[in-house]
């Protein structure tokens, strides 16, 4: 009974969430688009002409935002949808899961740790490096804090390793993580790789959630 009540409460909160309503109205696949929008606006992260990689991209809302932003739309999440305008730059969306294509976005399905996926990305990039890597990836959580934080740290480390190989020296990485017993170690791992490290908590992240984001700029 408690689980059913929890599910009902989550569904009620979800359906009445203003970001969910905006995403439905503006054609975005998930409310998560607004998290990246806030981070981008606060940190001036994304510009037309960049090359950006979206790790763990499914269902595609971050790539939708990137597509709109890099088309030079003043308000990417308003009128015309994410596919309006001419894309200036390149976006690569990687995920294990299949998801609906996004206009002008190169979607690579597979594990980005696998050689075949990396070689395909390398061929697409034509030897160039990446300006920004974004990751909204999260592992399946068990509810056991110690085990979950180890999984979260592992996902962050994967993103860090990817960024170290593919980013330009002045490039940036944004990853999702969660506050918990291992959070300080994740921040330290960022500081070992980047000159500038900053935690960011968008308003679009639910207040009850331990979710936060870490931004790293400039590889060491």
Question: What CATH number does the domain containing 10 carry?
Answer: 3.40.50.150
Candidates 182, 212, 174, 218; CA nearest to 55 is 174
Number of domains in the chain: 1
35, 37, 73, 176: the catalytic one is 176
Its domain, for residue 193, covers 2-219
207 annotated to a ligand binding site = no
201 has catalytic annotation: no
Q: Please write the tens of the pLDDT for every residue from 120-165.
A: 999 999 989 999 999 999 887 777 777 888 899 999 999 999 999 9
**pLDDT given for residue 19 in this prediction:** 72
Bridge-based pairing of strands 211-219 and 194-200 is: antiparallel
Joined tokens for residue 90: 């390149």
136 annotated to a ligand binding site = yes
Q: What is the helix (H) or strand (E) element at residue 40, kind and residue range?
A: helix 33-43
Q: Please write the tens of the pLDDT for every residue from 64-78.
A: 999 999 997 655 555
The helix/strand/coil state of 98 is: coil
């Amino acid at each position: 009974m408690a689980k059913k009540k929890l599910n009902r409460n989550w569904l009620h909160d979800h359906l009445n969430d203003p970001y969910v309503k905006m995403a439905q109205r503006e054609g975005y696949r998930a409310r998560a688009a607004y998290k990246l929008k806030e981070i981008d606006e606060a940190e001036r992260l994304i510009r037309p002409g960049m090359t950006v990689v979206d790790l763990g991209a499914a269902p595609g809302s971050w790539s939708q935002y990137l597509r709109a932003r890099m088309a030079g739309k003043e308000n990417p999440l308003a009128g015309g949808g994410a596919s309006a305008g001419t894309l200036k730059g390149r976006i690569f969306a990687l995920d294990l899961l299949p998801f609906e294509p996004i206009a002008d976005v190169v979607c690579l399905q597979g594990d980005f740790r696998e050689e075949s996926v990396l070689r395909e990305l390398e061929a697409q990039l034509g030897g160039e490096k990446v300006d920004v890597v974004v990751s909204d990836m999260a592992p399946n959580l068990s509810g056991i804090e110690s085990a979950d934080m180890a999984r979260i740290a592992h996902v962050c480390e994967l993103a860090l390793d990817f960024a170290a190989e593919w980013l330009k020296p002045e490039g940036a990485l944004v990853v999702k993580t969660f506050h918990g017993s291992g959070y300080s170690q994740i921040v330290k791992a960022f500081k070992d790789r980047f000159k500038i490290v900053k935690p960011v908590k968008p308003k679009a992240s639910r207040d009850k959630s331990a979710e936060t984001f870490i931004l790293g700029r400039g590889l060491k």
